[in-house]
Amino acid sequence: MRALLIHADFMEFEVKKATPVAEEIDDDMRRGRMDEVLVAFLTVERADEGNVTAVAKEATADILAIMERVGAARLMLYPYAHLSPDLSDPATGIKMLRSMESMAKDLGVEVERGPFGWYKTFTISCKGHPLSELSRDYEGKEEEKAHGEERFYVLTPDGDMVDVESYQGGDPCFREMLDKEALKKEAPSAGEPKYLRLCRKFGIQWESMSDVGHMSFTSDGALMFDLVADYSTQIVNEMGIPLYMVKGTNMFSLDEPPVREHAELFGDRLYQIKTDKHRFVMRYAACHQQFAMMRNWNISYRQLPFGAFEVADSYRLEQSGETMLCFRTRRLNMPDLHVICRDNDQAQENFLTLDGRIYDEVHRADQDYEMLINLSSQQAFEENRDMILDILKAHGKPALIHFYPEGINYYWTVNIEYHILDDIGRAREIGTVQIDVGNAERFGITYADEDGKEQHPVILHSAVIGTIERYLYMLLDRAVQMEATGQVGHLPMWITPEQVRLCTVSENHVAGATVIADRIQAAGIRVSLDDRGETVGKKIRAAKQSWASHVIVIGDRELEAEELKVYVRSENTDRVMTVDALVEEIRAQISCMPFRPLYQPRELSRRVQF
């Protein structure tokens, strides 16, 4: 906030006309006059939004000190929008002036305030001594508050709370998570992660013409990305929770109090956009859009619980030195599910459902999770202790418990982060679920209970498979772990870009191979045809380097016989089978997983080289 302070013989004003942002006033505020007065012309800035109390305290204390120095008997607070080009929203401006007026009155100062948002005429007579005209900037540096310290423990399925320093159990992922989060031990550098080689193979890369931390995907990577997005949608539709699929914008105005308050809780990783009149925040999850919609919905207790879902492009201003391809990015895509619950009991019931599905999905990807359970307070733990112990017993493993500092008004109570151990021995968070007890009230989301009274629901936030990018990271990392144990690395069949590749011996076999390719493709299987004029050996090597799940050479013998010799990557062996048997086997592996066709020409002779 900026201030121009004038010690005056008198100051008087009269209201003329309201602007669109004018506060409501009574007749007493339409004109004012004070003699022997310090006039504070005040401009409230955007930087003051969310920091009103601290700025008001700092400014009031300083202005009262100046009053004493110059011997002013009275104080006039006068809104003045001309000291800065970066104005706050009107609500913040009004709140700031009213807060300062109240603070001054509480200290026994005779104070008068000009109304906010009105055109006014004023007359002032400046005294003209060396201290009669002063300017000030107030930032409102908040005083540090004693909220205590964060605490870590290991909680066993039996309910024992063990000090982290003395705990000796846990598998490698749990130990690494405990060392990093609780003991603050920095793991030694492990060099370039091996999964990056697979990112390059599938065209998953940083975009050099964008900001740091933004990715691009060529055809194979784009196909894999979209399949995971399809799968995330399929998962939430299978969970048995009534579901609303929505889509929204990725940019929200910080002039809106709920958006601004929620953004303040998120911290310093906000992407912001400034226009000539407004300031916007890029959403960091689907919360903003879904909550903005729900506040206008007429919800009854009979309809609870229900879910809202969107694969939301989200933005987090990670430090440039900490970005990590697929894992830590500035633009990410969150399959964001919110479950709207009647109360904490219903939230706990659905929390257990989400936790079970989160574990099902990591096991399907041939990985396992360790849990970091964040708690906003000791009370949050006591209220949810039984649910937490049920989760630990269900998985037969301990969890690392993290108590946040007490006394802070968090909007959530329980947040579980699910971590895998990657190829270089780092614990990486993938899935998450959280109980939110604050945002329904903040955004004005209500439901009608049995008596017709408005109540605020409890909201669960969940990313069952993590972000799209992190799920891809998990699959690619699992593949390089296979290679480390001597296996041939491969991806799940449903997400492998090329499920079958046919390699012709010569140009004479292209027509026959095309017929076979058509049969396979008609069965809903991605098949490519290497019809180039290369040697068979080179074609086979190229197919294996592309990680095609099945590779088949098509020559005279294959066109004449019913059976084909098929290289099966997951088994690293050749098998003999018919086209129908091949189709049946692949379809069984794909099962009910999502399908999309190739994202590039089927014939390799028609493809450009990336």
CA distance 203 to 219: 7
The pLDDT score that the predictor gives to residue 143 is: 46
Place of tokens 């144990």: 485
The closest of 504, 515, 593, 506 to 543, measured between CA atoms, is 504
Residue 407, φ and ψ in degrees, nearest 5: 95, -5
The closest of 406, 415, 402 to 178, measured between CA atoms, is 402
Average pLDDT over residues 399-421: 92
Lowest-confidence range among 129-138, 162-171, 211-220, 548-557?
129-138
CA distance 352 to 25: 52
Average pLDDT value for the chain: 93
Residue-range domains of the chain with CATH: 2-137 (3.50.80.10), 151-247+287-476 (3.30.930.10), 500-606 (3.40.50.800)
* CB 248 within 8 Å of CB 286: yes
The closest of 67, 77, 70 to 97, measured between CA atoms, is 77
Q: What is the pLDDT of residues 424-477, one digit of tens each?
A: 999 999 999 999 999 999 999 999 999 999 999 999 999 999 999 999 999 999
Q: What is the pLDDT of residues 191-239, one digit of tens each?
A: 789 999 999 999 999 999 999 999 999 999 999 999 999 999 999 999 9
CA distance 511 to 581: 22
Q: How many other β-carbons are positioned within 10 Å of the β-carbon of residue 222?
A: 18
Residue 408 predicted with pLDDT over 80:
no
Is 420 or 266 the better-scoring residue by pLDDT?
420
CA distance 217 to 200: 10
Is 511 or 127 the better-scoring residue by pLDDT?
511
* CB 416 within 8 Å of CB 388: no
pTM, 2 dp: 0.80
The closest of 525, 480, 473, 486 to 502, measured between CA atoms, is 525
The pLDDT score that the predictor gives to residue 146 is: 42
3-state SS class at 423? coil
Both tokens assigned to 285: 């999850």
The pLDDT score that the predictor gives to residue 268 is: 66
Place of tokens 């009149």: 277
Q: How far is CA 47 from CA 86, 247, 269, in A?
A: 8, 31, 16
Side chain identity, residue 185: K
The closest of 550, 479, 492, 460 to 239, measured between CA atoms, is 460
* CB 323 within 8 Å of CB 329: yes
Q: What is the pLDDT of residues 207-219, one digit of tens each?
A: 999 999 999 999 9
Question: Which ranges of 334-416 would DSSP assign to H, the alpha helix?
Answer: 344-364, 378-395
The closest of 108, 133, 35 to 76, measured between CA atoms, is 35
* CB 154 within 8 Å of CB 36: no
- Give the list of residues 6+ apart from residue 240 with CB closer than 8 angstroms, or none: 353
| Residues in a beta bridge with 374 | 402, 415
The H or E element spanning position 492 is: none
Residue 86's pLDDT band (cuts 50, 70, 90): confident
Q: What is the pLDDT of residues 581-595, one digit of tens each?
A: 999 999 999 989 999
Residue 270's pLDDT band (cuts 50, 70, 90): confident
Burial class (CB in 10 A: 0-12, 13-18, 19+), 519: middle
CA distance 433 to 234: 18
End-to-end CA distance of the chain: 53
Q: How far is CA 64 from CA 38, 71, 76, in A?
A: 9, 10, 11
